[in-house]
């Protein structure tokens, strides 16, 4: 969760795929027409300060989309952000102390009506506002209209959060909080493209937890889940941040990274085994946890087919598993 609304990234610079500003621009244009006002904005609080994400295009509006005020500036929107309440200033010449407000002093906006825009959890996204250079007396119907438009924008923000969560859930394994197979394929495609561009080798390792079924049957699925979570942590703790890791199936995991052809898999296996034993040390249900591995370095872009790469290392892993059983 963000510590402050000003921790948000600028959506003007980096607009989320699930958010379209076209509808919001129509809303702003409608407000300026209905209120007969020279300026209206949808403002986002972000790392720049208070930024006009969407702005009316009237000539009297000198604050176009993408321009921003520092968060220290005492502008009208800042008051809305701080209070999370509506602010209606009919005439700044007669109401309050706005001598430090550049909108009032420099631009001559004496009237302001603004309402907060909020995320589903109630935190502030920004404001929806309309400004004028003359005293205004908006009816309660006009003020209610602003609130109704605010609710429409809030619903867009809620949908954006929902879409993000659904995407995360579709690529993240719920038990271990690492990538699932779909997430791994997506991340692997990006890593493969990087390797092709830079003519680098790709290393892929496939893992299978030994005797997970025995743990589940003997001690229950909570014990098995703990072993799975511990194994995911052991792998994560043993590889580099730029490597990708995933839970492919029930007891199967893999990781991929860009390594040199002389990369030694035994080093990683030893680190994972040591970490796994440490993580499960105090759990008496899990004795001598172990795993089987399959590993290969793919040196040519001709070999960079993720399905075939997984299939090959999976086969190598099962060969290793058979050897362990017969030894």
More confident residue, 245 or 164: 245
pLDDT of residue 262: 54
Helix residue ranges per DSSP H, 5-90: 21-34, 76-83
Query: Domains of the chain: which residue ranges?
Result: 5-169, 181-326
Using an 8 Å Cβ cutoff, are 99 and 73 in contact? no
pLDDT of residue 246: 97
pLDDT band at 19 (very low <50, low <70, confident <90, very high): confident
pTM of the model: 0.61
214-217, long-range: CB < 8 A, 24+ apart = 215/285, 215/286
pLDDT of residue 87: 97
* pLDDT greater than 80 at residue 260: no
> Domain 5-169 is of which CATH architecture?
2-Layer Sandwich (3.30)
Q: Indicate the average pLDDT of the chain.
A: 91
> Which CATH topology does 181-326 take?
Alpha-Beta Plaits (3.30.70)
Instruction: Report the pLDDT averaged over residues 21-49.
Output: 95
Beta bridge partners of 78: none
Q: Are the folds of 5-169 and 181-326 the same? A: no
Give the residue among 82, 174, 95, 171 at the shortest CA–CA distance from 127.
82
* pLDDT greater than 70 at residue 261: no
């Amino acid at each position: 969760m963000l510590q402050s609304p000003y921790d948000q990234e600028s959506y003007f610079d980096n607009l989320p795929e699930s958010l379209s500003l076209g509808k919001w621009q129509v809303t702003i244009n409608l407000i300026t027409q209905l209120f007969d006002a020279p300026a209206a904005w949808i403002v986002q609080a972000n790392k720049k300060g208070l930024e006009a994400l969407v702005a009316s295009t009237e000539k009297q509006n000198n604050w176009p989309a993408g321009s921003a005020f520092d968060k220290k500036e005492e502008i009208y929107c800042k008051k809305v952000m701080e209070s999370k309440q509506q602010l209606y200033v009919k005439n700044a010449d007669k109401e309050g102390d706005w001598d430090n407000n550049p909108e009032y002093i420099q631009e001559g906006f004496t009237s302001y009506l603004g309402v907060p825009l909020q995320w589903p959890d109630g935190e502030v996204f920004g404001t929806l506002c309309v400004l004028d250079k003359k005293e205004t007396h908006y009816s309660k119907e006009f003020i209610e209209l602003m609130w109704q438009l605010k609710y429409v924008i809030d619903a867009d923000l809620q949908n954006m959060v929902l879409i993000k969560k659904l995407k995360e859930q579709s690529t993240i394994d719920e038990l271990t909080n690492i990538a699932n197979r779909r997430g791994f394929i997506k991340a692997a495609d990006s890593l493969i493209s990087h390797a092709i561009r830079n003519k680098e080798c790709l290393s892929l390792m496939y893992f299978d937890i030994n005797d997970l079924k025995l743990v589940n049957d003997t001690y229950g699925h909570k014990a098995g889940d703990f072993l799975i979570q511990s194994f995911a942590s052991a792998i994560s703790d043993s590889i580099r941040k730029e490597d990708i890791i995933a839970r492919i199936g029930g007891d199967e995991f893999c990781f991929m990274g860009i390594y040199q052809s002389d990369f030694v898999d035994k080093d990683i296996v030893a680190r994972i085994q040591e970490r796994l034993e440490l993580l499960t040390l105090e759990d008496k249900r899990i004795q001598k946890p172990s795993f089987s591995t399959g590993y290969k370095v793919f040196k040519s872009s001709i070999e960079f087919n993720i399905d075939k790469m997984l299939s090959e290392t999976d086969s190598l892993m099962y060969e290793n598993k058979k050897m362990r059983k017969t030894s």
